[in-house]
Amino acid sequence: MPQAPTLKLHTQLRSLYPILDLSGHLPFSIVFGLCRHSPTDVDPRPLVFSTAGSVLDVPYALGCGLLTLHMQDGGEAKAWIGVDVRRLRDVVGMGEEEWVSLPSPVGRVGSWRDAFTVIRCLVDINGALASILEVGRKYRIRMAGEDLGVRRWGYRNHDQVVDSNNNNNNNESTNDFEATRLVKSKITASNATFTVIRALSCPPRIETRLRLLSDVAGTTTGNLDLEVSVLNTSPDAITVQTRGHQHIPIPWGPFQPDPDADDNRMRIIHPTPHKSPISSLRVFDSATGELLRGNEKQGPCGPLTDGNVDQRPK
């Protein structure tokens, strides 16, 4: 029997954070990155598909075998062993129908690596998936095969699919959607790895205020000084790291941290004997909201570069 035709999509899988906080203070998601990059995909219209029953329907996908769940053994070998998720099949139904739109590769400018559509699939800490996870264990979610499990998709505008779906109460003709299966483009090592914790320790709230001061100490130079005050709202003393890599959970996309999430620049409250750390300040026009001076981006050496160096041309 001939196999059904397929259309390949680049597919990446990752966890939003390296930890799953069962207290719910830090919302946790499985992150998918999808990109149209097949040489046979020449339709200029967006590709729109329903997530219901697909790998993006994470608890359902685990129960029906589209995704696999593994747990790291506590022994010295640190081997990954499969977790029996068959009971999810009995308690988890197909998720609500949501539509995702992938732009066409036709006329794409720039690298395909910058054309990924990112979808975050929130994990319900009170749901069936979280109920089978053990505190203190490290887990890994991977795709079981190439099939993305997409049941309905087509080349059309996003609004056309949603309107058709709502108006016809899911009774559309099968001709309204493509018969070709959507599959991932190649065997990939991408996965969503995370450690389950009972509750994340949240830091106290720190309030930072800025104020412009003119003619400080009775001077008449006309200079403006920027006063920065920091208030610790908790009753206990704390230590704040003001430069370098921040040892906190940061959100990730399919390949790398979200923009500005992993920020090594010197903070404005960093005590410097020579001059203030200006690399973390932005200046706006209060009347128009226009950005007059952006915060300086990190160089390739991150915290090794001096954010106070004047980058203006001589």
> 30 near 16, Cβ under 8 Å?
yes
Q: Answer whether residue 96 shows pLDDT above 50.
A: yes
CA distances 57 to 119, 144, 188, Å, are: 11, 14, 19
Return the closest-CA partner of residue 10 out of 141, 182, 150.
182
- Higher confidence at residue 144 or residue 188? 144
CA distances 244 to 172, 180, 195, 208, 274, Å, are: 55, 49, 25, 19, 19
280: left (phi over 0), alpha (psi -120 to 50) or beta: alpha
Model pLDDT for residues 190-233, shown as the tens digit of each residue: 899 999 999 998 888 888 888 887 755 555 556 777 788 888 99
**Backbone dihedral angles phi then psi of residue 176, each to the nearest 5 degrees:** -75, -15
pTM of the full predicted structure?
Answer: 0.78
Model pLDDT for residues 167-196, shown as the tens digit of each residue: 544 444 445 688 888 998 875 668 999 999
pLDDT (mean) for 72-99: 85
CA 172 – CA 60 distance, rounded (Å): 23
Model pLDDT for residues 247-306, shown as the tens digit of each residue: 788 999 998 888 777 777 777 777 765 555 666 677 888 889 888 877 665 555 544 444
pLDDT value of position 312: 38
Model pLDDT for residues 28-41, shown as the tens digit of each residue: 999 999 999 888 88
**Backbone dihedral angles phi then psi of residue 119, each to the nearest 5 degrees:** -125, 125
Place of tokens 């000084």: 225
**163 confidence band (pLDDT: 50, 70, 90):** low
pLDDT value of position 135: 95
Which of 115-124, 211-220, 233-242 is the least confident region?
A: 211-220
Chain center to CA of 37: 21
pLDDT value of position 78: 78
